[in-house]
Each structure stands twice: as structure tokens, then as C-alpha cells.
Structure 1
Amino acid sequence: MFEVLAFVYENYYAEDGCPEPAHLQRKLNAVGFDEDEISEALDWLSGLGSAARFARPAVTDSPTVLHSTWLHLPSSRSARVYSVQEQNQLGPVCLGYLSFMESAGILPAHIREVVMDRSMAITSAPISLDDLKIIILMVFWTFGQEPDALVLDELCNDHEIRIVH
């Protein structure tokens, strides 16, 4: 499924949005992706759209209230506590990466929560770091945000083939 998501991101990130599911399914079939992978990816993308709609900041007098009743931006002294299921699904490497992204100011709380929602929607556990990076890219794209060049490089490049200077 992640190969399909990576293909969608690579081919549609510069456009206004992802094509309609029926058109996208035809395109993915034509490229040669497996029907089960396509179906799983389209279901995941549908869930991403739903999760993002509920996590967009509301236009209110309070900057910390979001459209969703279940999500409020944390105060500067709050900390995100991950459930046992979330810990098992993400594993220590991915949780550490999320913590790094958040502490660096790259991953706002509402986007982190959508990343968590979509990570929990994956049937395999634990999620690999490369798969988490694809999830993060897809969530940023859904919110209409493009990470800056250095963050995009971090999310897209394979670090195993990098040469340290």
C-alpha cells in the first residue's frame, strides 16, 4: 500500500489535490499496481480526508480550539502520552521520530494527531520509519502544507545510501 501512496504523492503533490477515487483507481491500475493495494490505499486516503476535516483549526476567538470536539491544541506545558496500542503500532523508532519532529516545531499537534490516526489505521505493526515518513508527507499534503526543503529532504531521501562528508 505504501508504494501506492508514494506514487500518489510523487505524481499529485504539485497539483491542487488528488483526483477523484474512480479516476485515481483507473490510473493506478494502468500503472500496474495490485488491485488489493489500490483498494487499501484508496480506503486509507478516504480516512485521511475525514480525519483532516475534523482536525483543521477553527476560525474562532480561541486559537487553541479545533473543529473537532476531541482535539485541542496543547499548552506549552502539556505532553502527548501514547497509548499501549499506539506504542505497539509505531514502535520506539517511529515514536522518537515523531517526538523529534514535534520538538523541532515541524509537526504541529493537530497534524501529529492526524498522523497518529492514519498510523493506527495501518493493519501491519509496527510501522517502519519509511512508512511513517510517507504518512507524514500525505498528511502535510492533505492540509495543503509543504514542508520546507530540509524537512522534505529528510522525509523523502533514503539515508542508508547517503555518504557522510
Structure 2
Amino acid sequence: MFDILVYLFDNYHAPEACPDADVLARRLAAAGFEHEDIDDALSWLSGLAESTEHCIDMARTVGSGHRVYAETEYRLLGTEAIGFIAFLESAGILSAALREIVIDRALALGDGPVPLEKLRITVLMVLWSQEADIDNLVLEELLEDGATRRLH
């Protein structure tokens, strides 16, 4: 599923550039993706649209605030994912509404804790869905593959 999400990010400059779900499914199948992965990705993207609508509406009335994680959220996300989300929020990359969308989509992945590589792609897709301008350094961090960096 995550390969498909990265493919969408690479091949469609904005969510509006994506065709409807049926056409997109055919294009993804023609590109060599498995039907089960295509179904999972399209379902995840549908959930992203629903979560975005709910969280953006909520942000208009509630605003921001301090986030306290429920025990199940903490268990499913894991410490590393929660720390990364807090880092992105404190750096001004995620607003409170975007943070909630990221949390919702990360929890939708299922069993936890969420690996950092998957969380990075989740954040990337949330920012892409909002057509947010992504700074090159932030983009590099989100596309980081977890390999050890060499310092020169």
C-alpha cells in the first residue's frame, strides 16, 4: 500500500490531478500494483478525505491545544511515532488539525506500534492532500529511508 501512496505523490502534483477511484485503480493495476494493495490504498485515501473534512471543521471551532494521547493511541502509535509527530508540530510543519489527521490515518494502519517509515509516508500524504508547500528539508526528512547518514 505504501508503494502506491509514494507513487501517487510522485506522479500527481495535487490530489485533484488524480482520476476518480475506478480509473485510478485501473492505472495502478496497469503500473503493476497488486489489486489487494490498490484496494487498501484507495480505502486509506477515502478515510483520509473523511478525516480531513472532520478535522478541518473541528479546527474552525476548537482551535489548537495540547494533545494528550489515550492509552490505546499510545500503544498503537508507539513512542517513536508520537515523538516524531510532536517534533513536526513544534517545528510548525503540522497544525493541530493536521496532527489529528496524521494520528487518525496512522491509527488506521492497524497493529502498532507504527514504524517511523510508515508514519513519514502518512505525514507526506496528509500534507500532499492539503496541497501544503513542503520545504525541501522537510521533504528530505519525510522521504528518509532510515539508513544511517554519513557525516562529512
- Asked if structure 1 preserves the Cα contact closer than 8 Å seen for 2:51 and 2:101, the reply is yes
Tell me the secondary structure at the aligned position of residue 22 of structure 1.
Answer: helix
- What's the counterpart of residue 67 of structure 2? 80
- Asked if structure 1 preserves the Cα contact closer than 8 Å seen for 2:14 and 2:128, the reply is no
- Structure 2 distance, partners of 1:17, 1:55, is 23
- What's the counterpart of residue 163 of structure 1? 150
Higher normalized helix content (fraction of residues): 2
- What's the counterpart of residue 128 of structure 1? 115
The question of 1:65 aligning with 2:60 is answered: yes
User: TM-score, structure 2 length as denominator?
Assistant: 0.90
- What's the counterpart of residue 127 of structure 2? 140
- Structure 2 distance, partners of 1:7, 1:113, is 24
- Structure 1 distance, partners of 2:33, 2:42, is 12
Tell me the secondary structure at the aligned position of residue 48 of structure 1.
Answer: helix
The one-letter code sitting in structure 2 at the alignment partner of 1:157 is: E
**RMSD of Structure 2 on Structure 1 (CA):** 1.8
Tell me the secondary structure at the aligned position of residue 4 of structure 2.
Answer: helix
Q: Which has the larger radius of gyration?
A: 1
Evaluate the alpha carbon distance shift between residue 73 and residue 17 of structure 1 in structure 2; reply closer, same or farther with a 3 A threshold.
farther
What number of residue pairs does the alignment pair up? 152
The question of 1:43 aligning with 2:43 is answered: yes
- Structure 2 distance, partners of 1:14, 1:141, is 7
Q: Deviations over 1:82-105 (max 9, x none)?
A: 111111111111111111111111
- Cα distance, 1:159 vs structure 2: 4.2
The question of 1:27 aligning with 2:27 is answered: yes
Q: Which runs of 5+ in 2 are unaligned?
A: none
User: TM-score, structure 1 length as denominator?
Assistant: 0.84
Higher normalized contact order (CA 8 Å, seq sep 6+, divided by chain length): 2
- Structure 1 distance, partners of 2:111, 2:37, is 13
- Cα distance, 1:161 vs structure 2: 4.8
- Structure 1 distance, partners of 2:134, 2:104, is 20
Q: Deviations over 1:106-152 (max 9, x none)?
A: 11100000011111111232211010011101111111113111111
Tell me the secondary structure at the aligned position of residue 111 of structure 2.
Answer: coil
- Structure 1 distance, partners of 2:57, 2:132, is 14
- Structure 2 distance, partners of 1:19, 1:65, is 29
- Structure 1 distance, partners of 2:14, 2:151, is 30
- Structure 1 distance, partners of 2:6, 2:105, is 15
